[in-house]
Structure 1
């Protein structure tokens, strides 16, 4: 049976997530995970929420775009939502509609906010290893009928591939090492937002466009995304980034 284009892209996505250099950037890995999911599934956007190693409370760490970031931040502000529930329960969440008669919809404060953004259903898959739960990946949908159980299985497989990379190519390492990787991602997300803001203001770009420019520049020069972001946040913006022709 001939391999389809989508099957080939799935194989490439798994390899991209698993095969990382030894000093890879955990935050970039998790962002790549959300990007692969959006590219392969009929979801509007995706985000990753992890459990803080000290408080054990869910904290959003990255999102595929600014819409998903806003949805994650709103859940944190409200103290309710699919990302929070799934991470706290350390359980996946099936496709769950955000529409229905009053009183029948979960998350009564978050659901109206999400619907105004065009999101009509949500789901989540677990992010973790057999010996530990790390958090979850959240999927936001405008057309939930297009996401099947097989699609959620694929999303879980991609999340597993990212977890394997966090565990250093399936080598047996201690729990603290994996948690330290996640803490680096949590710490890095703030400087990423600062760098996005600097580029957005300097180049008159949307925040999504600024982040894409940041990622392209880092990858083309084999730099760590967070190191480049920290440099920009300090006001040291590479001249090439300010040149629209680059």
Structure 2
């Protein structure tokens, strides 16, 4: 049976998420996971939420685009939503419709906001340590704008992508314990603030949207083997490279 284009893209996704990098940045790895999920699955966008280091709150980390990021922020503000539920419980969510009659939805405040943004269904899989599967770290959240919705096979693929990403976080050199991996996630949480600042600066300076600003920021860092967080910190301080960040191809 010939190999399909999607199968090739899936193989490349696993290789990319598992590849060790000298300029390893946990936030960039998590963003790669959301981008791969959004590209390979029948979803509008994908995001990641994790428990903070104290284990008291579910906090958004990154997303495949600004729409998903905004909806993750709304859930944090409302203290309800699928991302928070999956992260707090450590359990996956099947595909759940957000289009039921008022009063029947699981998230009465979040669902109307999501629908206004064009999101009609959600699902989630867990981020978990491969050697400690009962210790959830967070969730990969999937948002759909309409059918076709992810099948059971699609959700198993999403879980496999999340698992290989968690493996990369915990097995960069040798098996890491829980605190080391939680430390990596805390670095990602801390990094998101400075990256958002850099995106905003570039969006204004280059006259592009936030999604495009992030792609240019990321491409510039990768082409020069810089850590995304370090480049973002420079830009947030006002040190924008001369003639930087050419349009993405």
TM-score in terms of structure 1 length: 0.96
Q: Following the alignment from structure 1 to structure 2, what is the Cα–Cα distance between the partners of residues 239 and 219? A: 17
Post-superposition CA distance 1:125-182 (Å, at most 9, x none): 0001141211001000012433101001101100011101101248322111111110
Query: What is the deviation of 1:237?
Result: 0.3
Matched, 1:232 2:235: yes
CA 1:239–1:11 in 2, change beyond 3 Å: closer, same or farther? same
Q: Following the alignment from structure 1 to structure 2, what is the Cα–Cα distance between the partners of residues 78 and 114? A: 12
Aligned counterpart, 1:19: 19
Confirm or deny: 8 A CA contact 2:216 2:247 kept in the other structure.
no
Q: Following the alignment from structure 1 to structure 2, what is the Cα–Cα distance between the partners of residues 170 and 245? A: 32
Confirm or deny: 8 A CA contact 2:199 2:214 kept in the other structure.
yes
CA 1:109–1:245 in 2, change beyond 3 Å: closer, same or farther? closer
Q: Following the alignment from structure 2 to structure 1, what is the Cα–Cα distance between the partners of residues 248 and 90? A: 46
Aligned counterpart, 1:115: 115
Confirm or deny: 8 A CA contact 1:202 1:242 kept in the other structure.
no
CA 1:54–1:121 in 2, change beyond 3 Å: closer, same or farther? same
Post-superposition CA distance 1:186-245 (Å, at most 9, x none): 000000000001101111111111101101111111111000000000000011326669
Matched, 1:158 2:123: no
TM-score in terms of structure 2 length: 0.95
The Cα RMSD (Å) is 1.6
The 5 Å alignment of 1:4-153 reads 4-130=4-130, 131=132, 132-153=135-156
Aligned counterpart, 2:181: 178
Give runs of ≥4 in structure 1 deviating > 3 Å: 242-246
Q: How many aligned residue pairs are there?
A: 246
CA 1:243–1:104 in 2, change beyond 3 Å: closer, same or farther? closer
Q: Following the alignment from structure 2 to structure 1, what is the Cα–Cα distance between the partners of residues 230 and 12? A: 26
Confirm or deny: 8 A CA contact 2:74 2:110 kept in the other structure.
yes
Gaps of 5+ in 1: none
Query: What is the deviation of 1:22?
Result: 4.7
Confirm or deny: 8 A CA contact 2:119 2:143 kept in the other structure.
yes
SS for the counterpart of 2:142 is strand
CA 1:170–1:104 in 2, change beyond 3 Å: closer, same or farther? farther
Aligned counterpart, 1:204: 207
Q: Following the alignment from structure 1 to structure 2, what is the Cα–Cα distance between the partners of residues 187 and 223? A: 18
Matched, 1:215 2:218: yes
